[in-house]
Amino acid sequence: MSILFFSLSGMDLLGALDKCQDKQQIVDWIYSTMLSDKKSLKTGFRGFNIGSDFSSIGSPEFCPFDSGHLAMTYTALASLLVLGDNLSRVDRESTARAVGSLQNEDGSFLSSLDGGECDMRYVYCACCICFMIDDWRFVDANKVAEFVRRSVSFDFSIGQGPFLEGHGGSTFCGLASLALMGRLDQCLGAKLKERLKKWCVFRQVTGFHGRPNKRVDTCYSFWVGGALKLLDANNLMSREDLIEFLFTTESDVTGGFSKWAGHMADPLHSYMAVSGLSLLEYPGVKPVDVMLNISSEAV
């Protein structure tokens, strides 16, 4: 599902979605991965159909281990929006209840009902899902904000959880989660926002890296670039240096972008490079909605 999302949204940002001729069939495939038991707390999308018979209105639980997964649900819903679907086949209330059931006492979220990691990535996915289905009833937003606030590190970045090392990816996820809830300013306050801006701009070496003294990597053009955008500070980076770096990671053999120059291109880094370029208003790339990481048009 993630690979599909990177491909579709990438094509959309590049204005090339019209080259995708089978949009309805892709929509049907996405829905086929949806768990269709409307009363189940396992409602959501899976990465792929685990074994149920194909159905374009979703499939029942295949086995006790079958459940929706927050990252797959986020990328599925985002992909559907990119394809112009109105989410009419999604049971919004069941989905919202399912997301709520994954929230821990400390405000973070499990990835799925059967357990798994619970870090800032899934806070972000949960907030994206609630935003896209417009239903926050079953999520405790105060606790989410509190979890993000407690994950602010001593160096004024945001880690995957309290006391974990601040990181470009989790900083974006935390900020975007607050923004999706409309609580960014309220939760952080002016002073912390300024400190976060400083931490983010210091991630720029040529391109961005994710942590101090680490190597630059293409994907942080979105994670850190996006964090700066959320802080209303993306004009404070060096646009020229970032663009120059990004194009060193572009493959002139296969196309696409890799994490570093000379590496093989992959869907994730290709997409993050394109959405990073969108944040820079690079010609030929559509505006991206920084919170959801899909085109503003699709939202």
Partner 1 sequence: MSESAEPNQKLVSPPSPSPDDDTELPQHNSPPPISYSTDPIWSDVIPIPQQEGPFPVVRIAYTNEFREVHDYLRALLKSNEVSERALSLTKHAVSLNPANYTTWQYRRLILKNLKCDLQEELVFNAEVIEKHPKNYQVWFHRQKLTEWIGLPGQEFEFTAECLEDDTKNYHVWQYRQWLLEKFPSYYKAELEFVDSLIKNDVRNNSAWNQRYFVLSKTSEFTVELVRREVEYTKLCIRLSLHNESPWNYLRGILNGQDLALHLEVKAWILETISKRKPSIYAYSILIDICELQIEEGDVTALSEALSYCSILREGMDVIRKEFWAYTGDRLSGLVVSSKQ
Tell me which residues touch partner 1 (CB under 8 A): 3-4, 7, 22, 25-26, 28-30, 32, 48-54, 56, 62-66, 69, 111-112, 114-117, 153-156, 159-161, 163-167, 194, 197-198, 201-202, 204-206, 211-214, 233, 235-238, 241
Least distance between partner 1 and beta carbon 141 (Å): 25
* Residue 185: C-alpha distances to residues 144, 169, 181, 282, 288 (Å): 14, 20, 11, 28, 21
CB nearer to partner 1: give 181 or 229: 229
CB nearer to partner 1: give 97 or 197: 197
Least distance between partner 1 and beta carbon 228 (Å): 10
CB nearer to partner 1: give 28 or 93: 28
Least distance between partner 1 and beta carbon 146 (Å): 17
Least distance between partner 1 and beta carbon 135 (Å): 26
CB nearer to partner 1: give 136 or 147: 147
* Residue 71: C-alpha distances to residues 25, 44, 67, 242, 260 (Å): 22, 10, 12, 28, 25
Residue entry with tokens 């394809």: 83
227 HSE (CA, 13 A, CB side): 35
CB nearer to partner 1: give 138 or 282: 282
Cα dihedral sign for 215, 216, 222, 227?
Answer: positive
Least distance between partner 1 and beta carbon 136 (Å): 26
Beta bridge partners of 103: 109
Least distance between partner 1 and beta carbon 245 (Å): 11
CB nearer to partner 1: give 152 or 181: 152
* Residue 289: C-alpha distances to residues 15, 16, 61, 121, 144 (Å): 15, 17, 33, 18, 21
Q: Which amino acid is at 28?
A: D
Helix ranges (H only) for the chain are: 2-13, 23-32, 70-82, 92-101, 120-133, 141-150, 168-180, 184-201, 220-230, 239-248, 267-279
Q: How many residues does this entry show for the chain? A: 299
CB nearer to partner 1: give 88 or 213: 213
Helix (H) or strand (E) holding 114: none
Least distance between partner 1 and beta carbon 117 (Å): 5
